């Protein structure tokens, strides 16, 4: 790769891109990370302090090997950076019996030998008194789940990457890229032109602008999260409340124990999505989204109030089947991409960074990426 300014350029230094920069740099690659905004900004998909990590994975048992490695990496990277990135609280998935969510989580535990426990509605409310649940709910408890400090993890990855020699340039969006005659890439920003042997695209909600092959298959939608005052903090404190996904008739809500930011953090409903154009600056949750959260607090969390201390909007980049896309570009194997994680990707950012480094350096990874190939979408380019 001599003659290039860098071995690898990473376009988009958010959740996934920051991890890619670190994994590449620690393996001796000359890395340039280019980020559209400030580091840890609030315009993309990774802000809001925390993201749930669940090993019991109702979205599909195929994710479990990757999420296990992600869990390991969050702990390892936190130690290296001297920052608490991973907080293990246990996780609970709660849903009506027979709705399929809890049953799928249980399937992933059984397939992969994960410790877990099935709980009745009464048992859930006895152990975790923050909840008031409707009849017919059941839960799956898994002790290794928890949350990742999401912006902090971006800072940790970037700090480590820089210490290993990576160059990170913020407020410098990639405008375009092309392949070169010698099998490398040329990347153009408003400040310069760079060349490299490889390119990693981790541009999240802006992936369509850099990856035309993927563009027809992506939708960007706005999601709401809030931090709410509580009448009684005890049932919400760390050690008392696990991270959770709560499926009720209104949709899937998710929440966290009290941590750093005052207030009980509740998000959702997961499928209550509203289209958003990422290039427009407003991220304010809609009144409808705010009302959904307020109603859920009133119904299901008797010790919380509907008083929001903070509300934020954030973007999901959703694929047609809601599964990830992790692949190389049809006709340009030197370009790898990951993102578009349909609202459940952050927990994997650590391992996706590692996978991007593996693919860029060796052309392969130990994980089975077959379920995540672009070609599964009709007309996506490669068989």
Comparing CB distances to ligand FAD, the nearer of 78 and 173 is 173
Q: How far is the CB of 252 from ligand FAD (least distance, A)?
A: 11
Is 112 strand, coil or helix?
A: helix
Handedness of CA 8, 12, 17, 21 (dihedral sign): positive
Smallest distance from ligand FAD to CB 126, Å: 25
Shortest reach from residue 2's CB to ligand FAD, in Å? 26
Give the bridge partners for 227, in sequence order.
265, 310
Nearest to 345 by CA among 16, 11, 10, 14: 16
Interface characters, 238-257, with ligand FAD (x: CB under 6 A)? ----------------x---
331 burial class (0-12, 13-18, 19+ CB within 10 angstroms)? exposed
Residue 146 sits in the site that holds ligand FAD (CB under 6 A)? no
Residue whose entry in the numeric block shows the structure tokens 């994710």: 63
Query: Number of residues in contact with ligand FAD, rule: CB under 6 A?
Result: 38
**Residue of 78, 139, 173, 257 interacting with ligand FAD (CB under 6 A):** 173
**CA atoms within 13 Å, Cβ hemisphere of 175:** 8
Is there a contact between 56 and 72 (Cβ–Cβ < 8 Å)? no
Tell me the window of 78-86, 89-97, 279-287, 345-353 that interacts with ligand FAD (CB under 6 A): 345-353
**Binding residue for ligand FAD, selected from 6, 8, 15, 92, defined by CB under 6 A:** 15
DSSP 312-345: EEEEEEE-TTS--EEEEETTEEEEEEEE--TT--
Question: In angstroms, rounded to a whole number, what is the distance separating the alpha carbons of residues 356 and 202?
Answer: 9
CB 117 within 8 A of CB 2: no
Identity of the residue, 96 or 278, whose beta carbon is nearer to ligand FAD in the bound complex? 278
142 binds ligand FAD (CB under 6 A): no
What's the CA gap between 371 and 335, in Å, rounded? 19
Ramachandran class of 309: left when φ > 0, alpha when ψ lies in -120 to 50, beta otherwise: alpha
Tokens of 278: 């990422």
Please report how close the Cβ of residue 104 comes to ligand FAD at its closest, in angstroms.
16
By the rule CB under 6 A, 353 interacts with ligand FAD: no
152 binds ligand FAD (CB under 6 A): no
The two tokens of residue 5 are: 């300014």
Nearer to ligand FAD, 121 or 148 (CB): 148
**Closer residue to ligand FAD, CB minimum distance, 121 or 343:** 343
Query: Considering only residues 31-60, where is the footprint of ligand FAD by CB under 6 A?
Result: 34-37, 44-46, 48, 51-52
Question: Cβ(251)–Cβ(269) under 8 Å?
Answer: yes
Q: Which residue has the tokens 């990277």?
A: 77
Residue 356 contacts residue 13 (beta carbons within 8 Å): no
- Alpha-carbon distance of 94 to 119, in angstroms, equals 9
- Contact window for ligand FAD (CB under 6 A) among 9-17, 98-106, 229-237, 372-380: 9-17
Binding mask 200-219 for ligand FAD (x = CB under 6 A): --xxx-x---x---------
- Is there binding between residue 174 and ligand FAD (CB under 6 A)? yes
Site string for ligand FAD, 288-327 (x = CB under 6 A): --------------------------xxx-----------
Give the residue at shortest CB distance from ligand FAD.
Answer: 14
214 Cα distance to chain centroid: 18
How far apart CA 88 and CA 113 sit, in angstroms, is 18
Using rule CB under 6 A, residue 145 touches ligand FAD = no
Residue 26 in contact with ligand FAD, rule: CB under 6 A: no
User: Taking CB under 6 A as the rule, which mask of x and - marks residues 69-98 in contact with ligand FAD?
Assistant: ------------------------------
Sites of contact with ligand FAD (CB under 6 A): 11-17, 34-37, 44-46, 48, 51-52, 173-174, 202-204, 206, 210, 223, 225, 254, 267, 314-316, 339, 341, 343-347
């Amino acid at each position: 790769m001599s003659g290039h300014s860098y071995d690898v350029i990473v376009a988009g230094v958010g959740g996934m891109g920051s991890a890619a920069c670190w994994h590449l740099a620690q393996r001796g690659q000359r890395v340039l990370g280019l980020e559209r905004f400030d580091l840890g900004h609030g315009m993309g998909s990774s802000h809001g302090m925390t993201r749930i990590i669940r090993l019991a994975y109702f979205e599909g048992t195929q994710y479990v090997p990757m999420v296990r490695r992600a869990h390991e990496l969050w702990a390892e990277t936190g130690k290296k950076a001297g920052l608490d990135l991973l907080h293990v609280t246990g996780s609970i998935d709660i849903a009506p019996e027979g709705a399929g969510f809890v049953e799928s989580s249980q399937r992933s535990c059984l397939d992969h030998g994960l410790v877990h426990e099935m709980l009745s509605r009464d048992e859930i409310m006895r152990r975790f008194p923050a909840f008031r649940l409707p009849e017919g709910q059941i839960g799956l408890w898994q002790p290794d789940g928890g949350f990742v400090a999401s912006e902090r993890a971006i800072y940790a990855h970037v700090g480590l990457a820089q210490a290993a020699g990576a160059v990170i340039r913020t407020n410098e969006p990639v405008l375009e890229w092309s392949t070169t005659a010698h099998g490398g890439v040329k990347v153009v920003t408003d400040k310069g032109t760079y060349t490299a042997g490889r390119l990693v695209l981790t541009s999240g909600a802006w992936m369509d602008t850099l990856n035309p092959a993927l563009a027809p298959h992506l939708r960007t939608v706005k999601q709401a999260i809030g931090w709410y005052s509580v009448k009684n903090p005890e049932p919400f404190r760390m050690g008392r409340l696990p991270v959770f996904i709560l499926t009720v008739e209104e949709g899937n809500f998710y929440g966290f124990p009290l941590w750093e930011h005052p207030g009980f953090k509740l998000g959702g409903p997961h499928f209550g999505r509203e289209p958003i154009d990422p290039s427009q600056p407003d991220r304010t949750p809609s009144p409808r989204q705010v009302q959904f959260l307020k109603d859920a607090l009133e119904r299901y969390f008797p010790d919380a109030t509907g008083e929001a201390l903070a509300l934020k909007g954030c973007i999901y980049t959703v694929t047609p089947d809601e599964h990830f896309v992790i692949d190389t570009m049809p006709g340009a194997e030197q370009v790898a991409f990951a993102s578009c994680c349909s609202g459940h990707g952050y927990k994997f950012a650590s391992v996706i960074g590692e996978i991007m480094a593996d693919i860029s350096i060796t052309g392969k990874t130990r994980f089975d990426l077959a379920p995540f190939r672009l070609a599964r979408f009709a007309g996506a380019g490669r068989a």
